[in-house]
Amino acid sequence: FEIVTDIFGLAPGQVLSPFAGQNEFLSALIAALSLSPLLKESQVAQIAACIEATIPFRPLSSAGLKPSEILHQRLVSANTKFNFGWNESEI
């Protein structure tokens, strides 16, 4: 659960919006729960990241970052936090 929430940039207890990735988050969460007995945590994180990348119609952030750039930052952070061992090209 923590890996998926970190990749989606959510905090525990945060209210989800159907217009801001709720379906994608829930899909990633179900995928993570279903696949975690079969895959490494780093692989589950990669799947969650692929699902997060499908959230449509997102504007640039207030800092001018694209959604893909924000996701990249979250993956770098998750790599450190969860010790996935990814190198830059894998992120």
3-class secondary structure per residue, the chain: CHHHHHHHCCCCCCCCCCCCCHHHHHHHHHHHHHHCCCCCHHHHHHHHHHHHCCCCCCCCCCCCCCHHHHHHHHHHHHHHHHCCCCCCCCC
In a domain, 90, yes or no: no
Looking at the domain assignment, is residue 91 inside a domain?
no
56 domain-assigned: yes
Q: Tell me: the pLDDT tens digits for 56-79?
A: 999 999 999 999 999 999 999 999
**pTM reported for the whole predicted model:** 0.94
Domain count, the chain: 1
Task: Tell me if 88 is assigned to some domain.
Answer: no
One-letter amino acid at 64 equals: G
Residue 89 belongs to some domain of the structure: no
Q: Examine the pLDDT at 41 and tell me if it is beyond 90.
A: yes
Confirm whether 46 is domain-assigned. Answer: yes
Give residue 75's pLDDT. 99
In a domain, 44, yes or no: yes
Please indicate, yes or no, if residue 87 is contained in any of the structural domains. no
User: Which residue range(s) make up the domain with 6?
Assistant: 2-82
Q: Is the pLDDT of residue 12 over 90?
A: no
19 has pLDDT over 90: no
